[in-house]
């Protein structure tokens, strides 16, 4: 199977080379294909001795990959736009306008102080549990670990702001290292620590990868920027290593945790990127489609819309079961994938597409997503707005995280994407003010909490 995967991934790379794509589009798609190629190749080698994965699962994943690339290539970008590219100086002026805004600074300080207040609870829980595994279990068991208001504030304000802030922080680290840059970094670090997970740190790393490789490649010419990148990635690697050890064992001294981390990180990295493929294979073998009541006809993939409108329907006495609620068992149940530790939760994004329309869904949704990503690049060339650059950064993150799971599931997720899209393409100067999406979010959040 490994040979077939190499041939087909090579075919995708050849298709991109033959399409005469612009530089930004090529950077985005090469990283996406390359990451998925690495995942599929190492999964097929089965170095960790998982249960045998059926060829059907690999063909399904390859179909989804081909569908995305086909949709991506089909969108044509005018040569005049591609030649101009992304105007980094113009984006820089917009970023300056944003970070100098008093509204942005007030919001940043308030959210950072709130995140720090939650971190005190996090620290107290660590003292009680002496293990991040137990803390993380409490975070996800619905016990309101950070208070009753946290879930709503996280969905409508903290999470959207972190998505907006991640590529912005990376850009500021290369262009403007002032106190507000470091406050923003502090917010991202604390916020992504609260769930006791590792993916939050990976999101920061992806933000830096996106900015320096895809958005402003000229930054690579500066040695200081290379040093900044090395320090950030080194720090993120250390945080992931310590978090991994603390979730597998009790929290000990820094030196002992570092030594343990050095021993397990290579194997754990391989485990992290290959176990979702085994999870998908397990789900297909054990007929998860039947467990969720058959095809959901778009409900799984569009669960964000369902969760957004359902409270309004409940007020009218017409509430319904959100499709994704049928799939909660994947977080609750640990499955045997043939490794020394069982796994839960991670099944790749393809499981969600399959539960909607079967093999048709596996092709349809990645195809549409590929079109959407390339459309954003096309619009970024046309409008040259930092909001569209941030939206592309979010899509770039979703592309890479599709290896693990599907992440557009919250009440506000698709609305946030829509707001970025509309704000980024607005021609009116006033419409491009960056506090407008946040004000709209606050209004929706207040309405949502009353339903």
101 to 180, 412, 427: CA distances (angstroms): 11, 25, 20
CA pair distance 333, 49, nearest whole angstrom: 21
- The CB density around residue 218, as the number of other CB atoms within 10 Å, is 9
List the chain domain ranges. Answer: 2-449
Instruction: Give every CB contact of residue 303 below 8 A, 6+ residues apart in sequence.
Output: 322, 323, 324, 408, 409
CA pair distance 233, 235, nearest whole angstrom: 5
DSSP string, 68-83: HHHHHHHS---HHHHH
H-assigned helices in 154-222: 159-175, 179-191, 199-209
Q: Percentages helix, strand, coil for the chain, rounded to the nearest 5?
A: 75, 0, 25
**Residue 63, both tokens:** 């179909």
**Residue 441, both tokens:** 């979010």
Would you say 445 and 157 are in contact if contact means Cβ atoms under 8 Å apart?
yes
Strands (E), 267-309: none
Please give the chain's pLDDT, 451 residues, in tens: 899 999 999 999 999 998 889 989 999 999 999 999 999 999 999 888 888 899 999 999 999 999 999 999 999 998 877 777 788 888 888 899 889 989 899 999 999 999 999 999 988 888 887 778 778 878 877 667 888 788 888 988 899 999 999 999 999 998 888 899 999 999 999 999 998 888 999 999 999 999 988 887 766 667 777 888 888 889 998 888 888 777 766 555 455 555 555 556 777 888 889 999 999 999 999 999 999 999 999 999 999 999 888 888 888 888 888 999 999 888 878 888 876 667 777 899 999 999 999 999 999 999 999 999 999 999 999 999 899 999 999 999 999 999 999 999 988 888 888 888 888 887 544 545 555 666 666 676 666 666 5
222 to 36, 100, 218, 282, 387: CA distances (angstroms): 30, 25, 8, 47, 25
Would you say 309 and 71 are in contact if contact means Cβ atoms under 8 Å apart?
no
Q: How far is CA 375 from the centre of its chain?
A: 19
**Using alpha carbons only, how large is the chain's radius of gyration in Å?**
22
């Amino acid at each position: 199977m490994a040979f077939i995967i190499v041939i087909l991934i090579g075919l995708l790379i050849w298709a991109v080379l033959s399409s005469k794509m612009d530089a930004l589009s090529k950077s985005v798609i090469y990283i996406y294909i390359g990451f998925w190629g690495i995942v599929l190749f190492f999964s097929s080698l089965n170095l960790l001795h998982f249960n045998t994965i059926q060829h059907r699962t690999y063909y399904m994943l390859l179909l989804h990959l081909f569908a995305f690339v086909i949709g991506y290539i089909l969108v044509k970008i005018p040569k005049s736009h591609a030649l101009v590219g992304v105007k980094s100086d113009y984006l820089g002026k917009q970023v300056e306008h944003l970070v100098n805004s008093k509204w942005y600074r007030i919001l940043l300080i308030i959210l950072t102080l709130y995140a720090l207040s939650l971190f005190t609870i996090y620290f107290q829980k660590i003292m009680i549990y002496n293990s991040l595994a137990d803390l993380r279990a409490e975070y996800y068991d619905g016990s309101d670990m950070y208070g009753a208001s946290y879930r709503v504030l996280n969905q409508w304000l903290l999470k959207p702001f972190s998505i907006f802030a991640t590529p912005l922080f990376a850009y500021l680290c290369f262009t403007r290292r002032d106190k507000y840059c470091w406050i923003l970094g502090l917010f991202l670090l604390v916020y992504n620590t609260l769930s006791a997970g590792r993916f939050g740190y990976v999101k920061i790393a992806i933000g830096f990868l996106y900015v320096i490789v895809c958005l402003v490649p000229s930054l690579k010419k500066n040695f200081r920027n290379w040093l900044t990148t090395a320090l950030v990635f080194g720090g993120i690697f250390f945080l992931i290593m310590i978090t991994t050890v603390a979730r597998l064992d009790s929290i000990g001294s820094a030196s002992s945790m570092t030594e343990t981390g050095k021993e397990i990180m290579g194997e754990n990295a391989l485990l992290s990127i290959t176990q979702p493929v085994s999870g998908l294979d397990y789900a297909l073998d054990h007929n998860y489609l039947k467990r969720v009541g058959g095809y959901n006809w778009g409900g799984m993939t569009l669960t964000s819309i369902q969760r957004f409108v359902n409270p309004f329907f409940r007020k009218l006495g017409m509430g319904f079961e959100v499709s994704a609620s049928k799939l909660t068992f994947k977080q609750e149940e640990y499955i045997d994938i043939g490794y020394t530790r069982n796994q839960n939760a991670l099944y790749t994004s393809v499981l969600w597409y399959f539960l909607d329309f079967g093999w048709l869904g596996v092709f349809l949704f990645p195809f549409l997503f590929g079109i959407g990503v390339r459309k954003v690049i096309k619009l970024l060339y046309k409008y040259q707005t930092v909001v569209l650059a941030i939206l592309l950064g979010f899509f770039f993150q979703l592309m890479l995280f599709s290896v693990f799971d599907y992440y557009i599931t919250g009440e506000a997720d698709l609305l946030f994407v829509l707001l970025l899209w509309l704000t980024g393409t607005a021609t009116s100067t006033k419409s491009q003010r960056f506090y407008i999406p946040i004000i709209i979010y606050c209004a929706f959040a207040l309405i949502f909490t009353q339903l």
